[in-house]
């Protein structure tokens, strides 16, 4: 079995021109798999390997390794068996039907309350882009951007939900936003904070400046330079313009404000179920991912408030004055 692995190693290095470290990783993965087949399943040839053997091996790896590691090892095995098929050694790839483990997407970097406030209240730096013609249109654009930032943080909308809003979805009289066709085609009502409501009122008073004179009625709430619905990419560009004047050391996307809203509410005592409803998560387990971001906050609260956690100002032992007491 090892001889076949060495032939595959040569193929990777010469025919595919992969880097030495990559080739070494493939080879290492396959040697470990071969050892498992020989010692645990009693197999001595690759022709004897079946789908069940691969699945059993992957199941064992899932208990001890990271998902990214398991996915890489599975990719090595699949590539090797594809090579064996092309060589005419086996009729089919026994690993072809084995699914790679779903990778968990890490949450965006957590924004503090001060950082979120600073971002929402920041002024854009529009270097390299043409300004709107006319002061009125520029003021309308600024009001639009301000309303979008406030709404992202206030209501925790996904950026796709933000650009999908129509004028009729904003219920200023009820302090609510109606989200239609959210993720999974689900609709929901979310609260509208006072700051966001004021920003939306200011924008609505200037929105007509973004419509061409010959344009008809446009249902979209947030408009682009041509008077049509804004895109998600435009929202990211807008956010980048606001970030230029700030000192945040990492890349921030629109979803960072959605995640900030969730963590800040949880830190302030909101219950998980309510936050789930606002975010539009189908499963409570999805919302629970935000709780790990509040651990530092909880520890600080605990250390400050719990009588057995408060550290005394003087850490010296009682009676310790530098001399031994009799």
Q: Would you please indicate which residues are annotated as catalytic (active-site) residues?
A: 158, 183, 255, 258, 281, 290
Longest CA–CA separation in the chain, Å: 98
> How many residues are listed for the chain in this entry?
326
Among candidates 33, 105, 31, which has minimal Cα distance to 68?
Answer: 105
Report the C-alpha gap between 174 and 124 in whole angstroms: 31
Q: What is the DSSP string of 118-137?
A: HHHTPPP--TTSPPPSSHHH
- The tokens of 287 are what? 């919302």
Enter the tokens of residue 46: 């690759």
For 162, 169, 235, 271, 278, the CA distances from 175, given in Å and listed in that order, are 16, 11, 23, 20, 14
Inter-axis angle of helices 67-86 and 20-40, to 10 degrees? 90
Query: Contact at 8 Å (CB) between 156 and 193?
Result: no
| Cross-strand bridge partners of residue 177 | 170, 190
Distance of alpha carbon 232 from alpha carbon 250, whole angstroms: 20
- Eight-class DSSP state of 249: S
CB contact at 8 A, 156 and 279: yes
Cα torsion 21, 23, 25, 29 to 10°: value is -170
């Amino acid at each position: 079995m090892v001889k076949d692995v060495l032939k595959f190693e040569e193929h990777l290095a010469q025919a595919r021109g992969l880097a030495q470290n990559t080739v070494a990783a493939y080879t290492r993965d396959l040697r470990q798999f071969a050892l498992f087949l020989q010692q645990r399943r009693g197999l001595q040839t690759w022709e004897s390997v079946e789908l069940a053997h691969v699945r059993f091996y992957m199941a064992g790896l899932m208990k001890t390794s990271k998902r990214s590691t398991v996915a890489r090892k599975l990719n090595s095995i699949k590539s090797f068996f594809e090579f064996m098929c092309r060589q005419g050694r086996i009729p089919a790839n026994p690993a072809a039907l084995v699914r790679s483990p779903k990778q968990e997407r890490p949450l965006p970097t957590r924004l503090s309350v001060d950082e979120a406030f600073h971002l929402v209240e920041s002024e854009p730096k529009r270097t390299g882009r043409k300004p709107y013609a006319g002061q009125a249109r520029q003021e309308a654009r600024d009001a639009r951007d301000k309303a979008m930032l406030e709404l992202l943080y206030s209501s925790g909308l996904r950026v796709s939900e933000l650009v999908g809003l129509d004028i009729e979805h904003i219920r200023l009289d009820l302090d609510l936003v109606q989200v239609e066709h959210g993720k999974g085609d689900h609709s929901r009502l979310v609260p509208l904070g006072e700051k966001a409501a004021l920003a939306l009122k200011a924008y609505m008073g200037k929105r007509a400046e973004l419509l061409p004179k010959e344009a008809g009625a446009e249902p979209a709430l947030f408009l682009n330079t041509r008077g049509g619905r804004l895109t998600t990419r435009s929202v990211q560009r807008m956010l980048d313009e606001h970030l230029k004047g700030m000192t945040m050391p990492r890349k921030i996307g629109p979803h960072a404000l959605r995640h900030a809203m969730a963590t800040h509410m949880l830190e302030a005592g909101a219950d998980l179920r309510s936050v789930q409803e606002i975010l539009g998560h189908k499963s409570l387990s999805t919302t629970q991912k935000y709780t790990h971001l509040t651990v530092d906050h909880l520890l600080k609260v605990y250390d400050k408030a719990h009588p057995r956690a408060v550290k005394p100002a003087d850490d010296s032992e009682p009676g310790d004055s530098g001399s031994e007491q009799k």
